[in-house]
Chain A
Amino acid sequence: MSCIEQLEYEILLQGASFKESGEYIKKHFSEWYEVEPGYRLFDSYLIGVPPVVLGVDGEDMIFPYTKPCRGTFLLRARGPEEIAKLRARKK
């Protein structure tokens, strides 16, 4: 089981495409970042089509989570340490 599945998370979008998930973040959250697939988040490597869009809302991370059979879920989970790491990242 992925580390992400052990988080307390809220599902914001289900059944959307990966592209739609990224567009949703850019439309609904003023702070967002683009990273490469394989970026390490919550001790898991992100799956996705480059660039992967990540959102920040207060102390919550907004991020896509893709499963082979179920497609992409857009999740919200508390992650102040992940947000600090993302903000400090070299562009």
Chain B
Amino acid sequence: MASDTIESPTALLLLGCPQVPVQTSVAIHLCDQLRERGIAPVIAGTAAARKLIEVADPKRHYIGEVIDLDACIDAIAGKERDFDHAFVFIHNDGGVSYAGTISAISKARLVGIVYGEHAAETAATITFPCEVVAVKATHNPMPLVARLGRALP
């Protein structure tokens, strides 16, 4: 007998350069919050960003699939894969460029998580459709976690 399967909604967490400490802990926290809502998190990042995540959650209690950043962009732009939600971690101009790319190639609801010493200035350069959560945070993740809570699905 044929049966229909309903796949869980998915969320992409696109990590930038892990130069600013809050990125890793906020990403793992966000994975937990998404799972609580029945949304499967998928992390994409550079080798260093991925390694920080995987070492912090070795039994993968919170994180799920972890993929290479360039491969992720290739899959979305090549229309092989897409997500229901996309959270792009942004602390520099490069992060804004990646968020701009997701806005153009993906149908996901896009949230830009902007942090770091110059969060307000960085957020001001976001000129494409994107929900922005911007907090001046480098070491203390709590203000960012609190603001991000309001942007969760």
Task: Output the least CB separation between A20 and chain B (Å).
Answer: 9
A2 to B, closest residue via Cβ: B70
The size class of the interface chain A forms with chain B is 20 to 34
Selected from A38, A40, A50, A68, the residue in CB contact (under 8 A) with B69 is A68
Find the residue from B46, B92, B100, B128 having the highest chain A CB count within 10 A.
B100
Question: Which of A6-14, A41-49, A55-63, A81-89 makes up part of the contact surface?
Answer: A41-49
Contacts of A45 in B (CB 8 A): 73-74, 77-78, 101, 105
| Interface pair A49/B100, CB less than 8 Å apart | yes
Contacts of A49 in B (CB 8 A): 96-97, 100, 125, 127-128
B78 to A, closest residue via Cβ: A45
- One digit per residue, 1 when the CB lies within 8 angstroms of any chain B CB and 0 when it does not, for chain A 58-73 equals 0000000011111110
Find the residue from A37, A40, A69 having the highest chain B CB count within 10 A.
A37
B38 touches A (CB below 8 Å): no
| Interface pair A72/B46, CB less than 8 Å apart | no
B9 touches A (CB below 8 Å): no
Given contacts A49-B128, A68-B16, A69-B17, contact A37 B94 (CB under 8 A): no
- What is the number of contacts between chain A and chain B, taking CB atoms within 8 Å? 72
The size class of the interface chain B forms with chain A is 20 to 34
How far is B76's CA from A31's CA once the two chains are assembled, in angstroms?
Answer: 30
How far is B92's CA from A2's CA once the two chains are assembled, in angstroms?
Answer: 21
How far is B97's CA from A17's CA once the two chains are assembled, in angstroms?
Answer: 10
Task: Output the least CB separation between B151 and chain A (Å).
Answer: 21
Contacts of A38 in B (CB 8 A): 73, 76-77, 101, 104-105
Chain B interface (Cβ < 8 Å from any Cβ of A): 16-17, 19, 46, 48-49, 69-70, 73-74, 76-78, 92-98, 100-101, 103-105, 125, 127-128
Known: A37-B104, A50-B128, A68-B95. 14 other contacts (CB 8 A): A36-B104, A37-B97, A38-B77, A40-B77, A45-B74, A47-B73, A68-B16, A68-B17, A68-B98, A69-B94, A71-B93, A71-B94, A72-B93, A72-B94
Chain A interface (Cβ < 8 Å from any Cβ of B): 2, 17-19, 36-38, 40, 45-50, 66-72
